């Protein structure tokens, strides 16, 4: 006999291969189609959901305690959540943290993002690792009415991230100035009042904490849209150029970003620093190629080796594409690699202060082993002035 006490599922996750997971919905109601990835970070679900690099993706959180620190306006990486939804093992808990101003479920509801709990996230993560990041449809209906065949068809109809330029969807509409530094006790976010370097940051989906790290390294930052031209960049007379993180296929974004970067490199000797998508943009501009990864790197515990110092850093990562190190041209050196799979995590030009990394030295969430890269950028600008 059926269990009369068993509650009807209120959310459904359908994979393109026909696999279906049922669970308890929370947050907004409705339906979303996206690529499914998993993130292994133990903290920072709010930063992850608001990271523009997650555009076009639904995130499976492998850490089961989601919701326990609540949410607050200070931890948003951009104004609104960008990830299409979230998958968790246990229902979100009530917040137990002095910084919380709202609970996760209410926040997701207000922001129009769907969540599903009660999922075997270990099984789901194994499937992603073995089969690659699947296309999925996630639905939340409080009445529990689901057309499973239609959801599977919607998952199969999702076009995927290959060939998709998402930077134009998450970039700023117009330029703006940034001077807020990293959070510090007890003042919180303080302004940079004595900047030493003028930096133009190209916004392919920039996280706020990256901009804060630039400010903390002594930079006066002007942020320009992803489609800015080299003339628009150089009109600000910068001491250095920064290429931000972002979502989507780097080859697609590169149709307009690569010529701009090449023009900057050809016309000036400015230091250039890139992170994540910015790393991939720089590599493409230098003549390398990028590839789609099986399931990508998403987490705050990724070991990366710096081949120039021999040190191993524990880093935060979020990318589904990577630079193909076999295609790096002469004059470009591989500086960092992942100790998980050997994939490229950093490059630099051998004769100029032009470098980039695949991992996130600002963390948020994650360890801060790689913050020295912002200082290296500042030192390169100081040396150029000298």
Same domain, 240 and 106: no
pTM of the model: 0.96
User: What is the tens place of the pLDDT at every residue in 52-64?
Assistant: 999 999 999 999 9
State the catalytic residue, choosing from 197, 302, 336, 360: 360
Is residue 162 included in any domain, yes or no? no
User: What is the tens place of the pLDDT at every residue in 210-258?
Assistant: 999 999 999 999 999 999 999 999 999 999 999 999 999 999 999 999 9
The residue segments making up the domain with residue 246 are: 167-385
pLDDT at 363 over 60: yes
How many domains, in total, are found in the chain? 2
Same domain, 203 and 340: yes
The pLDDT, as a whole number, for residue 6 is: 53
Same domain, 238 and 317: yes
- Whether 276 is a known active-site residue: answer yes
pLDDT top residue among 7 and 138: 138
Which of 157, 175, 210 terminates a domain? The answer is 157
Same domain, 152 and 238: no
Same domain, 191 and 95: no
Same domain, 186 and 51: no
Is residue 243 included in any domain, yes or no? yes
Alpha-carbon distance of 43 to 41, in angstroms, equals 6
State the catalytic residue, choosing from 35, 47, 313, 362: 362
State the catalytic residue, choosing from 276, 297, 298, 336: 276
Same domain, 102 and 203: no
Same domain, 111 and 234: no
Q: What is the mean pLDDT of the chain?
A: 96
CATH code at 45? Answer: 3.50.30.20
- Whether 362 is a known active-site residue: answer yes
CATH code at 217? Answer: 3.40.50.880
Same domain, 98 and 70: yes
The pLDDT, as a whole number, for residue 386 is: 85
Is residue 109 included in any domain, yes or no? yes
Same domain, 201 and 314: yes
Which of 157, 179, 194 terminates a domain? The answer is 157
The pLDDT, as a whole number, for residue 94 is: 92
Is residue 1 included in any domain, yes or no? no
């Amino acid at each position: 006999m059926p269990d009369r006490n068993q509650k009807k599922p209120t959310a459904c996750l359908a994979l393109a291969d026909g696999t279906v997971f049922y669970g308890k919905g929370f947050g907004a109601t409705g339906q979303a189609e996206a690529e499914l990835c998993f993130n292994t970070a133990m903290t920072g679900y709010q930063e992850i959901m608001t990271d523009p690099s997650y555009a076009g993706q639904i995130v499976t959180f492998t850490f089961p305690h989601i919701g326990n620190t609540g949410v607050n306006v200070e931890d948003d990486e951009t104004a609104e959540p960008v990830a299409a939804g979230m998958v968790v093992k246990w229902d979100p808990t009530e917040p137990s943290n002095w910084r919380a101003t709202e609970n996760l479920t209410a926040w997701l509801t207000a922001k129009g993002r769907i969540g599903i709990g009660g999922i075997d996230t270990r099984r789901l993560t194994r499937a992603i690792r073995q089969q690659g990041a699947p296309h999925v449809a996630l639905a939340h209906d409080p009445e529990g009415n689901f057309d499973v065949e239609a959801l599977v068809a919607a998952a199969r109809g999702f076009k995927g991230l290959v060939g998709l330029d998402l930077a134009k969807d998450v970039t700023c509409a117009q330029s703006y100035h940034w001077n807020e530094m990293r959070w510090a006790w007890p003042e919180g976010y303080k302004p940079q009042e004595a900047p030493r370097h003028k930096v133009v940051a190209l916004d392919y989906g920039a996280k706020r904490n990256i901009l804060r790290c630039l400010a903390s390294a002594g930079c006066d930052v002007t942020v320009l849209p992803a489609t800015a031209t080299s003339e628009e960049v150089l009109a600000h007379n910068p001491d250095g150029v920064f290429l931000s993180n972002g979502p989507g296929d780097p080859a697609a974004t590169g149709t307009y970003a690569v010529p701009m970067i090449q023009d900057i490199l050809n016309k000036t000797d400015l230091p250039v620093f890139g992170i994540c998508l910015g790393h991939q943009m720089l590599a493409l501009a230098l003549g390398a190629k990028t590839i789609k990864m099986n399931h990508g790197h998403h987490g705050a515990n990724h070991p990366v080796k710096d081949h120039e110092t021999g040190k191993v850093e524990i880093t935060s990562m979020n990318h589904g594409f990577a630079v193909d190190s076999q295609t790096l041209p002469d004059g470009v050196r591989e500086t960092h690699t992942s100790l998980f799979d050997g994939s490229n995590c950093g490059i630099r030009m051998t004769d100029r202060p032009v470098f980039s990394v695949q991992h996130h030295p600002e963390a948020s969430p994650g360890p801060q082993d790689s913050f020295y890269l912002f200082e290296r950028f500042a030192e390169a600008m100081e040396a150029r002035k000298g």
